[in-house]
Amino acid sequence: YCFYDLPSGTYTVTEETPTGFDDVTDADGPLLDGSVDDTDSTIIDITVGPGENVTGQDFVDEELKTISGSVSTDDDEPITGSVISLVKPDGTVVDTTTSDDDGNFEFTGVVPDDDYTVVQENLDGF
């Protein structure tokens, strides 16, 4: 992005993160005031002096990911209806789904670069 012929002053620039993406960081390095402003889609306190060009104020977004798998018996028969949870290291359940008729499950919209554990609740008889 680029803004031309701005009058001198202090500005705030905001980005609307596109669908299917996560806001990773909002500037390549520290802001002009020395602060670091991460992951809120806003770069603040951009001061423009007379005739000055300011660069390096970037938004970095990363595409959300998918985690998928399947649930089956020892004989590779699919298990339908198994409850599967996506869990963060602190125990927070991010999402829960159920395996389909083919034993498959999928979590979409997963934030990249986070740690997760996929947990299966055993069904009766397994």
62 or 80: which carries more pLDDT confidence? Answer: 80
What's the pTM value of the predicted model, to 2 decimals? 0.67
Q: Phi/psi of residue 11, each to 5°?
A: -125, 155
Domains and CATH numbers, the chain: 9-63 (no CATH), 65-121 (2.60.40.10)
Residue with tokens 């602190």: 90
Which segments within 26-125 are labelled E, that is strand?
42-48, 60-63, 65-70, 83-87, 93-98, 104-110, 117-121
Q: How far apart are CA 13 and CA 114, in angstroms?
A: 27
Q: What is the pLDDT of residues 73-104, one digit of tens each?
A: 999 999 999 999 999 999 999 999 999 999 99
What angle is formed at CA 71 by the lines to CA 78 and CA 67, rounded to 5 degrees? 130
65-70 vs 104-110, strand pairing mode: antiparallel
Q: What percent of the chain has pLDDT over 70?
A: 84
